[in-house]
Amino acid sequence: MAKMVVLYPSPGMGHLVSMVELGKLFLHRGFAVTVVTVEASYTTGAANATSDFISRMSSFHPSLSFHRLPAVSLPPNTSPHHEAHAFDLLRLSNPYLLDFLSSSRSSPVAALIVDFFCTLALDVAAELRIPSYVFFTCNASVLAAFLHLPILHTKLTASFKDLGAAHLQFPGLPPIPASDMPLPLLDREDEGYKGFLFHYDRMPEADGIIVNTFASLELRPLQAIADGLVVPGRKMPPVYCVGPVIASGDGSQTERRHESLEWLDSQPLRSVVFLCFGSLGVFSAAQLREVAAGLEKSGQRFLWVVRSPDGGGNSGKMTRAAATEPELEELLPEGFLERTRERGKVVRSWAPQAEVLRHAAVGGFVTHCGWNSVLEAIVGGVPMVVWPLYAEQRMNKVLLVEEMRLAVEMKGFESGMVAAGEVEDRVRGLMEAEWGKEMRARVEAVMAAALAAVADGGPSISALNELAATWKNLKSEP
Ligand code: UDP
């Protein structure tokens, strides 16, 4: 009987998609794979995207099983940040995870792989004597920064939000403006901040940390971790860089091709700029109109995923499910769709992004720079304009713009309103200016390194094979 690898993602499409992709890699290595999910009462994605994704994956990969833990009711939590709620949700789900894993003993569990919000599940693994790993769905630089947080915390007395223009020094990273840290980390008193400290302090207890990156992209932070600079004086588990692990688009071959891909088929090579903002990104109606005006003035071809505004008049992270599909005619400037019909396509709410970014017609990407989106852009060889909205995306912006030089920043995003002129300027520059061309050349070089990492014999494949061999050789607990 095949040994089982159990994956335990935290809520949210970005986490689920990359965990499932990781799971498929272990399916191919002869393991049974089960993805254990928890149900969040807060919003985790565009309407029904999560359940649609699970049912598509289940039908396309019958050997990949999904198990949903019973719902839990969350205690009152004053933090406005969903990360704090995720910590509660996963803590309360721990006994159910224990029940599930205990009852699955007929198929021996080779390893439990948890998300970085779920380090309490390491206790469950320890109790059942199952090897446990953390899958870090972001990059090695952010991993190094977060692992270093408990140390930085002891050195500072003020919250990041009170440090003004100060820059934070993390081993192996460029200086990060304190204000670019994720929102839940800005206030030391916030439950989200305390949760991060707690979980990153525990992370080194895992048997290994699996990271969705490839080693050549992030030599400095990986070296800093290996040299003991990130968590001095503490033994670190091995770090396995297995990426880029990105959505393969399987399942879609049997379905009707998405309208966005059909449209791209008729566009010239590398001519289209794609705008899409993750599973949770939303803009105010006023911001959508500015983007539309900027795109129109830029004269560029574009493919734009538009979601209903959140209602509160702000841009950022969706805080409640968008109940309806956007009414494009009402939302966008009068006549915009008609005037740009020859060179632009607007799709509602969701597009098969990974496939879009692999399409030869796409030549630029305006993104919120969630890490999956960045990896998908790299694999497609597509340079980026970054417009961070939530989570660790401002940190990713610093890395992409200053360290990796694969992106430029959309100026004005901090103020919550980017002017049409800025959109016009950035989009045109990305597609036509010398800097855009140089950036494309750099992304193409990084794309080659990414593809080599996941080719036969590449370092990411070797890391996966090493994990699989370790688990296969382990004696199962009686
Ligand atoms: N995604 C997609 N279509 C969309 C929006 C998002 O396929 O219209 C996918 C995207 O390809 C990526 C994931 O959702 O794989 C988003 O993950 P990311 O880490 O970029 O951002 P998050 O949603 O976690 O903020």
The two three-digit tokens of residue 294, written as one number:
């900027």
Residue 15 has pLDDT above 60, yes or no: yes
Q: Are 110 and 471 in contact (CB under 8 A)?
A: yes
* Distance from the alpha carbon of residue 332 to the mean position of ligand 1, in angstroms: 23
* Distance from the alpha carbon of residue 41 to the mean position of ligand 1, in angstroms: 20
Q: pLDDT band for position 62 (50/70/90)?
A: confident
Q: Length of the chain in residues, anyone?
A: 478
How many angstroms separate the first and last alpha carbons of the chain?
A: 15
pLDDT tens digits for 257-291?
999 999 999 999 999 999 999 988 999 999 999 99
* 363: enclosing H helix or E strand: strand 362-367
Mean pLDDT of the chain: 92
Is the CB–ligand 1 distance for residue 17 below 6 Å?
yes
Is the CB–ligand 1 distance for residue 13 below 6 Å?
yes
Half-sphere exposure of 425 (CA within 13 A, CB side): 10
* Distance from the alpha carbon of residue 46 to the mean position of ligand 1, in angstroms: 10
Query: What's the pLDDT score for residue 81?
Result: 80
Least trusted range by pLDDT, from 8-17, 140-149, 247-256, 300-309: 247-256
4-243+456-473 is a CATH 3.40.50.2000 domain: yes
Q: Do domains 4-243+456-473 and 259-452 have the same CATH topology?
A: yes
Share of the chain above pLDDT 70, in %: 95
Give the mean model confidence (pLDDT) for residues 453-478.
90
Ligand 1 pocket test, pick from 56, 142, 183, 353 with the greatest ligand atom count within 8 Å of Cβ, gives 353
Give the mean model confidence (pLDDT) for residues 309-337.
82
Residue 188 has pLDDT above 80, yes or no: yes
277 Cα nearest atom in ligand 1:
5
CB within 8 Å of 18: residues ≥ 6 apart: 135, 137, 212, 245, 246, 247, 372
Give the mean model confidence (pLDDT) for residues 440-467.
98
DSSP conformation letters of 102-138? HHTTTS-EEEEEEETT-TTHHHHHHHHT--EEEEE-S
The two three-digit tokens of residue 314, written as one number:
């702000």
Nearest CA among 278, 270, 304, 291 for reference residue 443? 270
Give the mean model confidence (pLDDT) for residues 128-157.
97
Residue 46 has pLDDT above 60, yes or no: no
Domain ranges of the chain: 4-243+456-473, 259-452
Least trusted range by pLDDT, from 6-20, 87-101, 267-281, 344-358: 6-20
Instruction: Tell me how crowded residue 387 is: count the other CB atoms within 10 A of its CB.
Output: 27
Q: pLDDT band for position 320 (50/70/90)?
A: low
* 66: enclosing H helix or E strand: strand 64-68
- Secondary structure class of 334 (helix, strand, coil): coil
Give the mean model confidence (pLDDT) for residues 48-68.
86
ipTM of the complex in this document: 0.99
Query: Whose Cα sits closest to atom 15 in ligand 1?
Result: 372
Nearest CA among 138, 147, 151, 154 for reference residue 203? 147
Query: Whose Cα sits closest to atom 2 in ligand 1?
Result: 353
Ligand 1 pocket test, pick from 250, 282, 345, 372 with the greatest ligand atom count within 8 Å of Cβ, gives 372
* Distance from the alpha carbon of residue 357 to the mean position of ligand 1, in angstroms: 12
pLDDT tens digits for 202-243?
999 999 999 999 999 999 999 999 999 999 999 999 999 999
Is the CB–ligand 1 distance for residue 355 below 6 Å?
no
* Distance from the alpha carbon of residue 428 to the mean position of ligand 1, in angstroms: 24
Give the mean model confidence (pLDDT) for residues 53-75.
89
Half-sphere exposure of 291 (CA within 13 A, CB side): 30
* Distance from the alpha carbon of residue 353 to the mean position of ligand 1, in angstroms: 7
Query: What's the pLDDT score for residue 478?
Result: 44
pLDDT tens digits for 78-111?
777 878 888 889 999 999 999 999 987 667 999 9
Query: What's the pLDDT score for residue 75?
Result: 83
Query: What's the pLDDT score for residue 184?
Result: 92
Nearest CA among 371, 372, 443 for reference residue 404? 443
* Distance from the alpha carbon of residue 280 to the mean position of ligand 1, in angstroms: 8
Peptide bond into 131 cis (omega under 30): no
Q: Tell me, what DSSP letter sits at residue 305?
A: E
Give the mean model confidence (pLDDT) for residues 189-199.
93
Residue 477 has pLDDT above 60, yes or no: no
Query: What's the pLDDT score for residue 59?
Result: 87
The two three-digit tokens of residue 1, written as one number:
């009987």
Instruction: Tell me how crowded residue 216 is: count the other CB atoms within 10 A of its CB.
Output: 16
Give the mean model confidence (pLDDT) for residues 123-140.
96
* Distance from the alpha carbon of residue 373 to the mean position of ligand 1, in angstroms: 6
* Distance from the alpha carbon of residue 369 to the mean position of ligand 1, in angstroms: 9
305 Cα nearest atom in ligand 1:
8
What is the homologous superfamily of the domain 259-452 according to CATH?
Glycogen Phosphorylase B; (3.40.50.2000)
Is the CB–ligand 1 distance for residue 353 below 6 Å?
yes
